A and B are shown apart, each in its own frame.
Chain A
């Protein structure tokens, strides 16, 4: 078979090309420049690059095109998620400007790795071929293995990197093995063709196929940090530089959910009665374990890590229902979740000092008095995470649980809301420390750099805007999931 790639195909992947170009440019700067100036220049370039790429990506909205012989796809679903990844990248670049200098990680290579990671995410969600999805996943993961360990003289950071790498390699193996088994039993790696195959061969009897499906769930379960594949999360999130933690908690999760949803809502939708039961159990476990373990954490970064496990559980609730229209709530939730989490991690960074991250909950004591604006912002982020209206977190939960109720998953919804009531406790606890407690020792004054302030304001604005006027975003998300119908 002759493979012909028309040159016009390349114009559909301009955002990816642009991103790669920027990343390579930053890598060059990292090689030649040294010190604060170079770090700042790289950061600003990364920020400009991501905004530039957003501009290109938004232009693709409404396009539906298979390119490169079906290995790559441009559609609204991918575009929606890509804009989200790039927005996350822009925010992370913004908050890294100062943090990178302070911790000494902010070299050109740091920013270029961030961009390569996003490139991987973008590839992951814009394909219906297992091979391309896998390549995207690996590009993303390799970048993050390195990013986690960037604080070379910090033992925890190195440990995080190694742990993520080893476990990540296992997960990759599971995923690849799953893909291989599915290929072995059907001869297909394309999810759309797979769907037709499954529909034409009801029931699909091969055990190999089902084992492959199970392994896929394991592989993706690792990336979205669902129980019982979540063990790495707290250590890695705690050890990694905070900006990278924010990046992983939002970007990686969104990318993994994006790919998972494309695979399961296209290829395996006919088999929903089977996998939804497995995912039902995983969702319940994830919500319970995440929230209950978060209750006892004394370290805010670790607490946010467990809370991010719990949030994966909420998203799975909507996922399980298999309702194609309401699956837009997954996308909506991911958007809301990105802003509240980046906001919260920004506050964690603000409190950090050189050589001491100050992530213990005690260092939040009296923050309401030491720096009212930071405390108020953190309260807004935490209340949004807890799902208090009219913030975006509430709107997100509202759509997720309405998906569950509509599909008659009453018990799943009940468990979901009860665990989110438990969650309110640990979010409130931080608010309690900030406003109700006096600092135990002489706490340092908080210096809120303008970059952090800008990031917090953007997140607050987004949370209020999405929370009070959710319509526009939900309609966009609904249009994006239109590709599943």
Chain B
């Protein structure tokens, strides 16, 4: 039987849900069984996702592993799944990070263990569903479904101000997404008036030619919803609260996957559906992205709380992703997608690190630490590598992404490029300063003198993260070749779709080099 005849994506989406349902019947007192069961489910899920990566046809421009079934034909709603080079990598990231999250919750979650793991598996279903949906209604259903488990994760297992943070998180995202729902409907009826066909199929809707004024409105609604999720300045205020209050695994999955849903939404929906408006929005989005980069970095610098610091650094990092995307050239786009993965791994890693420190000391205040490298040498090594990845040291994954984004940004507009580059410097400042205060110097606090170094489980969690950081830093081609064809086709589509809206310089930039060539040059130059 050929692999393509198996509904791989459906299995991938609903397998965790099946696990969650089975867990419902588990005895709540047998926590070890529950943990092992969830771990097995998430491992199997990862194994199921591996064939996606290896069977994915790198040369094909079309959606792959497509599944389509009628759901509500009169309204043009279908169960339509498929992935391309962009979603493939994010799906992999999701299945990978879920394992890490299950492992890192092993000891930190002691209350309502059963509910916790059920919630987590439910969240995984929603996330993968969001990434694979090619029908707008299906996408919206999974998109909203992600909210509920995340709300519970923050609200039940979070820190002291968890209730405030959970509600803020829910309301911000909900307000954005209901407006998107209206935009989806408006798009649907517009397409009907144009073609006489009712459909929510995204690939069909890409073909619509919508008057530019209408595009502004619809793009605005979509962009607001996604910008809240990203989060972009100035709708980012829910993020520090949510990150700070969430349990470690919640923060990891929030940074690792949920924020990517925003940027992914721009790539998959907001830009290709309304290219004209997207091009015209370049100055606004780029400006906000640059503000986010610099503002996030400066605010990070001032944070006394480790988790808050990393949360604000996310605002800065996601600013790069947005800037690269809206450079509308090959380098920016590929850098942006790569940076999504990077951020998931390096910021996820940082949250894991903080979680480990927190489990030992029950504080996250930088001032409470100092000199930890002497007490916990193994921990120091991992922390260092992840920190360096976060500040984009050459040889780590962060460098590749940031470099490409800056390349793209300079090509598109020098001013944005220059401003964004200052963010790189600031990033190094706050991260290294933080690292120095926590890890170096003499051990001043009595409690820190007897801290235990990492245990086997913790090393097991961090090793794959560090492995990926280095793999993606020195051999990015492995990942770029998966997305090259998709991005080339994507850029060509955008170019064809609204050449009239694009400045000439940008149009000229599109057919340029394929991403992997650029990467090869970039990595070579660093050696």
Is A389 within 8 A of B145, CB to CB? yes
Q: How far is the CA of A402 from the CA of B198 in the complex (A)?
A: 12
Q: Is the CB of B151 within 8 A of A418?
A: no
Known contacts A383-B148, A390-B141; A398 and B181 CB within 8 A of each other: yes
Contact yes or no, B175 A418, CB < 8 A: yes
Binding site for B on A (CB under 8 A): 368-369, 383, 387-390, 394, 398, 401-402, 405-406, 410, 413-414, 417-418, 420-421, 424-425, 428-429, 432, 435-437, 470-471, 474-475
Q: How far is the CA of A425 from the CA of B72 in the complex (A)?
A: 31
Q: Closest Cβ of chain A: how far from B145's Cβ, in Å?
A: 6
Counting CB contacts under 8 A, is B171 at the interface? yes
Q: Chain B interface: which size bin? A: 20 to 34
B142 to chain A: closest residue by CB: A389
Q: Could you write out 27 A-B pairs with CB less than 8 Å apart?
A: A388-B148, A389-B141, A389-B144, A401-B182, A405-B185, A405-B186, A405-B189, A406-B189, A417-B178, A417-B182, A420-B178, A421-B171, A421-B178, A424-B170, A424-B171, A424-B174, A425-B167, A428-B151, A428-B167, A432-B155, A435-B152, A435-B155, A435-B156, A436-B156, A471-B74, A474-B72, A475-B74
Chain B residues 140 to 187 lying within 8 A of chain A, measured CB to CB, are 140-141, 144-145, 147-148, 151-152, 155-156, 162-163, 166-167, 170-171, 174-175, 178-179, 181-182, 185-186
Instruction: Tell me whether A432 and B167 are in contact in the complex, defined as CB-CB below 8 angstroms, given that A388-B144, A414-B179 are known contacts.
Output: yes
Query: Most chain-A Cβ atoms within 10 A of its Cβ — which of B74, B140, B167?
Result: B167
B167 to chain A, nearest CB (A): 6
Could you list 15 further interchain pairs (A-B, Cβ under 8 angstroms) beyond the known A389-B145, A406-B185, A432-B166? A369-B112, A389-B140, A401-B182, A413-B182, A418-B175, A418-B178, A420-B178, A421-B175, A421-B178, A428-B167, A428-B170, A429-B167, A432-B167, A470-B72, A474-B74
Q: Measured between alpha carbons, how far is A324 from B267 in the docked complex, in Å?
A: 38
CB distance from A177 to the nearest CB of B (A): 39
Mask of B30-74 contacts with A, CB within 8 angstroms, 1/0: 000000000000000000000000000000000000000001101
* Residues of A with C-beta under 8 A to B155: 432, 435-436
CB distance from A187 to the nearest CB of B (A): 42
Query: When chains A and B are docked, how far (Å) is the Cα of A424 from the Cα of B156?
Result: 18
Q: Chain A residues near B71 (CB, 8 Å)?
A: 471
In the complex, A413 Cα to B189 Cα: how many Å? Answer: 14
Measured in the bound complex, the distance between the Cα atoms of B112 and A209 in whole Å is 64
**Cα-based distance from A410 to B188 in the complex (angstroms):** 14
A151 CB, min distance to chain B CBs, angstroms:
35
| Residues on A with beta carbons closer than 8 Å to the beta carbon of B186 | 405, 410
By the criterion CB–CB under 8 Å, are A390 and B189 in contact? no
Chain B binding site: helix, strand, loop or mixed by DSSP?
Answer: helix
Across-interface contacts of B144 in A (CB, < 8 A): 388-389, 394
**Which residues of B are found within 8 Å of A475, using beta-carbon distances?**
74
Partner of A436, one of B137, B140, B166: B166
Chain A residue numbers with a CB within 8 Å of B166 are 432, 436
- Chain A residues near B137 (CB-CB < 8 A): 398
Report chain B residues within 8 Å CB of A394. Answer: 141, 144
CA distance A428 to B426 in the complex (A): 39
Distance between Cα atoms of A418 and B155 in the complex (Å): 23
Q: With A388-B147, A389-B141 in contact, is A417–B179 under 8 Å at CB?
A: yes
Q: Taking the nearest CB of chain A, how far is it from the CB of B187, in angstroms?
A: 10
Most buried by A among B72, B74, B145, B174: B174
Instruction: Please indicate the chain B residues that have their CB under 8 angstroms from the CB of A406 in the complex.
Output: 185, 189
Chain A residues with CB below 8 A from B156, complex form: 435-436
What separation, in Å, do the CA atoms of A281 and B72 have in the docked complex?
A: 33
Cβ B145 vs Cβ A388 within 8 A: yes
CA distance A401 to B144 in the complex (A): 17
Interface bits B323-349 vs A (CB < 8 Å: 1, else 0): 000000000000000000000000000
Q: How far is the CA of A389 from the CA of B167 in the complex (A)?
A: 18
With both beta carbons as reference points, the residue of chain B lying nearest to A406 in the complex is identified as B189
Nearest CB on B from A404, distance (A): 8
State A417–B221 Cα separation when bound (angstroms).
12
| CA of A470 to CA of B71, assembled, Å | 9
- B residues near A417, Cβ cutoff 8 Å: 178-179, 181-182
Q: What residues of A have a CB within 8 angstroms of the CB of B175 in the complex? A: 418, 421
Interface residues of B in 483-505 (CB under 8 A from A): none
Chain A contacts for B174, CB-based, 8 A: 421, 424
Query: Are A471 and B171 touching (Cβ within 8 A)?
Result: no
Instruction: Report the bound CA distance from A413 to B170 in whole Å.
Output: 21
- Is the beta-carbon distance between A390 and B145 smaller than 8 angstroms? yes
B215 to chain A, nearest CB (A): 15
Cβ-closest 4 pairs across A and B: A417-B178, A389-B141, A405-B185, A421-B175
Report Cα–Cα, A410/B182, bound state, in Å.
8
Give the chain B neighbours of A429 by CB distance below 8 A: 167
* CA distance in complex: A435, B162 (Å): 12
CA of A173 to CA of B217 in the docked complex: distance in angstroms? 46
Cβ of B139 to closest chain A Cβ, rounded Å: 10
Residues of A within 8 A of B151 (CB): 428
Name A379's closest neighbour in chain B (CB-CB).
B148
Chain B nearest CB: distance from A386 CB in Å? 8
